[in-house]
Amino acid sequence: MSAIGRRLNLGLLALIVLSVAGTAGATVFYQDATSDLQTQNDRLQEKNSELQSELETARTNLQENRTQLQELRNTLNTRTQDVDQVAKELDRTSKQLNATENQLAETRAELREREDQVDELQSTNRELDEEISSLREERDRLESEVADLESDVETLRSERDQLQEDVEDLEAEIETLEDDVAELEQRVEDLESENSEMESDLETLCSQEENAEKPSCEGY
């Protein structure tokens, strides 16, 4: 019932009470009116308590989601730093691989130049062959390391993207919860206002001398 409707009903109630004042029916009428107002007041207080409980639950959920969001953001920052670190390591290893390949090319060139001196440089040739083999193994190892690092980078990027999606989902959920909290707060405010009006009406009736001793007016 709106505030205007309540005021009209109260005005009509006052007129009826005045018209039957001094009769036995007035007493019965006041008893019914105050009993109805008290019942409505009790219901509003019960509803207000329920909404307060819902509001506290919503606030708790909101705080928990905010905490989870912060933890995800921290994890995302850590993953991003890991990606950057692995990317730097990949770059360094790639440069090392290029340098090793260049060294291998130079060694092969030196080997070709010295093939004309096979008799004199057989020992050197064996050493260079061993060096080439070692460099090839080093190159293979570095290529394998690069492949592993590239896989790690891809994995970390996927984790970062997933965490970003989780952050966005939580932000959307928090926004929804904040809207729910605002709506519940407005409903609580409306009920408190309505409850205040009902208590004022009840207090007005109980302030009248003929109603002062009635059980429903105790405390008013």
Task: List, as one string, the DSSP characters of 3-29.
Answer: HHHHHHHHHHHHHHHHHTTTSHHHHHH
Report the pLDDT averaged over residues 188-210.
80
The pLDDT value recorded for residue 8 is 39
The pLDDT value recorded for residue 144 is 92
The pLDDT value recorded for residue 40 is 80
What pTM did the predictor assign? 0.35
Domain boundaries, the chain: 3-217
Q: How far apart are CA 156 and CA 174, in angstroms?
A: 26
Report the pLDDT averaged over residues 210-219.
70
The pLDDT value recorded for residue 5 is 39
Answer yes or no: are the C-beta atoms of 48 and 196 closer than 8 Å: no
The pLDDT value recorded for residue 215 is 72
Average pLDDT of the residues of the chain = 77
Burial class (CB in 10 A: 0-12, 13-18, 19+), 157: middle
Report the pLDDT averaged over residues 1-11.
41
pLDDT greater than 50 at residue 1: no
Q: How far apart are CA 181 and CA 53, in angstroms?
A: 11
Report the pLDDT averaged over residues 134-155.
90
